[in-house]
Chains A and B, each alone.
Chain A
Amino acid sequence: MTSDRNPMKNAIAFAGATTTGFERRNTTRSQASWAAEACIDAMRQCDLGPKDVDGLCGSWPPANELQAILGLPEITWFENPPVPFINHVSAAAAAVFAGLCEVALVWHAAYRQPWNTAGSLKDPFRAAAENFPAVAPSPDTVMHAVGYTAWASRYMHEFGATKEDFGLIAINDRSNAARNPAAALTHPLTMQEYLEARMIRWPLCLFDMDVAVDGADAFIVTTAERARDMPLPPVLINAAVHGMVANNEEDQIDGLAHHGQHIVVDSLKAKSDFWIDGADVFFPYDGFSIIALAWIENVGYCGAGEAGEFMRQYWDAESNSVRLNGKVPFNPHGGSLSEGATQGSGHVREAIHQLQGLAGDRQVPGARTALLTPGGFFFNAQGLTLIRD
């Protein structure tokens, strides 16, 4: 059923991308305030005024609120998709391609809330905004975020993978984050510290799970033609895909060899102009370390269960991170584990900056292509390929 049809290929572009940076604390700002800051920066970066944006796409705050906050006079298309972030990218790109709008402002505001960190409850505003369920959910489940822990245990069982394999994902992220001023966690992480970290849900510890943060990313999506008239080099959307299988509940999937990621890989390969050999930078999503290990294997860098060994093989001692063939980094911004839990918006923003030559100390020289695989196994696996114009 995988189709190579992709009429939108290279027709739609990111003209710009901005971030406020991320903080691992309850800031005294609202989620909307972070989104507004990133959006205003993105519009200024692209020389756009309030009348120049006619499309809006973001989850929190919803589009109507963001429009009112920024005083945007006329919006002809908007969407409030669920995370992760390729939902936003594909919706906005398709809307521009179809002519529903010309210039879409797209955002993701990360925010520390009770569902991602209990520490958020220390902020009375955050506690008051939350609709607490009257009764706590049962612990007898592997649904929701717990599902990745369950499949991490299966991964270890099937392949004899070790905690060190998971730790390499966390250390790679942390080393890269040290070169990213936007990252929440930048102090070095050793394997020893990783192995001794607080266990949250065995076999996953604190450093296997993304870090709840405050902050936002924003993007301008428009036609490639229009983007060429804007200040920065356009980054073309080569392909954007989603993947899901019938048995997509956390405890019912067919196994590590057949879930959403496999659909994404088949589809993205068919629609894209390049694959791993042609990717200058790779973004395996890392909301949980196990997700990144699985992406590294499923896109074809190595076989099932071999991601840890693969990372060791391409480990660069000097940068204390993966440098495939001496140059290609994985999650150069530090990923969700160290930059912050952005649901993929950080991965997309960093990819755009790498291809625009704006990645500072993290810049991959001459990077022209990026392969991104946001999302997990069950109902949110996604893929994106980007090419510098």
Chain B
Amino acid sequence: MAEADEELLERFASHSVDRDNAAHFRGRLNRQLLINRCGDCGRWHHPPKPVCPGCWSTAIEPSEVDGTGEVHLLIRLHQGPPAPGVDYSTPYPVVTVELDEQQGLCFTATVEEGDIAIGQRVELDWIERAGVPVPIFRLAREVSL
């Protein structure tokens, strides 16, 4: 059964959950990365919007993506907002990953430390933080040919 709206808002209090992105956050509770896809033209977009920016259709379908892609942006936070399990004494890495589903479709999350650099292939995994699943990228295990 779907979480009640109030419970969803409470569990993701550190994010700005609204009507347009609620499905995305519900997906996280099931460890599914849901990205909006247009039911009419097939275009993906993120963050979630109420209409498709490509064709203005309202037939938006939050759809699971593979979570594979390439590191496009990379930062390391030497300080930042307090978060459980995050200790900035080791700089906290955050990546923006261009997802394989569509050129230019990007998703931002933390990443497993290692030799992360822009251009590397990554895949999605999940960790638990304060009782909520949090998406995390890690270096892709298999070398794609």
Also in contact, A251 and B106, with CB within 8 A (given A136-B14, A139-B94): yes
Also in contact, A139 and B81, with CB within 8 A (given A199-B91, A252-B46): yes
Find the B residue at minimum CB distance from A198. Answer: B78
Do the beta carbons of A139 and B80 come within 8 Å of each other?
Answer: yes
Instruction: List CB contacts (< 8 Å) of A227-258 with chain B.
Output: 246-247, 249, 251-252, 254
B75 within 8 A of A: yes
Cα distance, A198 to B88, chains bound together (Å):
13
Also in contact, A200 and B82, with CB within 8 A (given A134-B13, A151-B73, A249-B47): no
Q: Mark A328-365, 1 if CB is under 8 A from B, else 0.
A: 00000000000000000000000000000000000000
Also in contact, A142 and B81, with CB within 8 A (given A135-B14, A136-B14, A251-B96): no
Beyond contacts A140-B108, A251-B96: 15 other A-B pairs, Cβ-Cβ < 8 A, are A136-B81, A137-B81, A138-B14, A140-B94, A140-B135, A141-B94, A153-B74, A198-B78, A200-B78, A201-B78, A201-B80, A249-B47, A251-B73, A251-B108, A252-B47
Find the B residue at minimum CB distance from A247. Answer: B104
Cα distance, A252 to B13, chains bound together (Å):
23
What is the total number of residues of chain A having a CB less than 8 Å from a CB of chain B? 29
Cα distance, A134 to B9, chains bound together (Å):
12
Also in contact, A139 and B110, with CB within 8 A (given A134-B13, A202-B75, A254-B104): yes
What 6 A-B pairs come out closest when comparing CB atoms?
Answer: A202-B76, A150-B73, A136-B81, A135-B13, A157-B118, A251-B96
Which of B13, B53, B73, B92 has the largest number of chain A CB atoms within 10 A? B73
Minimum CB–CB distance for B93 against chain A, Å: 9
Find the A residue at minimum CB distance from B74. Answer: A153
Find the B residue at minimum CB distance from A148. Answer: B75
A120 within 8 A of B: no
Minimum CB–CB distance for B99 against chain A, Å: 11
User: Interface of chain A, helix or strand or loop or mixed?
Assistant: loop
Cα distance, A252 to B79, chains bound together (Å):
24
Cα distance, A135 to B130, chains bound together (Å):
12
Find the B residue at minimum CB distance from A135. Answer: B13
**Within the complex, which residue of B46, B72, B74, B92 is in contact with A139, where a contact is CB–CB below 8 Å?**
B92
A261 within 8 A of B: no
Do the beta carbons of B14 and A199 come within 8 Å of each other?
Answer: no
A70 within 8 A of B: no
Instruction: List CB contacts (< 8 Å) of B56-86 with chain A.
Output: 72-83, 86
Also in contact, A142 and B83, with CB within 8 A (given A202-B91, A251-B108): no
A146 within 8 A of B: yes
For A200, the chain B residues whose CB sits under 8 A away are 78-79
What is the total number of residues of chain B having a CB less than 8 Å from a CB of chain A? 34
Cα distance, A137 to B47, chains bound together (Å):
17
**Within the complex, which residue of B75, B83, B107 is in contact with A149, where a contact is CB–CB below 8 Å?**
B75
For B75, the chain A residues whose CB sits under 8 A away are 142, 146, 149-150, 153, 201-203
Chain A residues proximal to chain B, CB less than 8 Å: 134-143, 146, 149-151, 153-154, 157, 198-203, 246-247, 249, 251-252, 254
Also in contact, A142 and B104, with CB within 8 A (given A201-B76, A252-B46): no
Minimum CB–CB distance for A314 against chain B, Å: 30
**Within the complex, which residue of A138, A139, A142, A198 is in contact with B73, where a contact is CB–CB below 8 Å?**
A142
Minimum CB–CB distance for A248 against chain B, Å: 11
B109 within 8 A of A: yes
Also in contact, A154 and B13, with CB within 8 A (given A202-B91, A249-B47): no
For A142, the chain B residues whose CB sits under 8 A away are 73, 75, 94, 96, 108
Cα distance, A141 to B82, chains bound together (Å):
13
For A134, the chain B residues whose CB sits under 8 A away are 13
For A137, the chain B residues whose CB sits under 8 A away are 14-15, 81
Instruction: List CB contacts (< 8 Å) of B1-42 with chain A.
Output: 13-15
Do the beta carbons of B79 and A154 come within 8 Å of each other?
Answer: no
Find the A residue at minimum CB distance from B81. Answer: A136
Also in contact, A150 and B74, with CB within 8 A (given A135-B13, A251-B96): yes
Cα distance, A201 to B74, chains bound together (Å):
10
For A247, the chain B residues whose CB sits under 8 A away are 104
Find the B residue at minimum CB distance from A199. Answer: B78
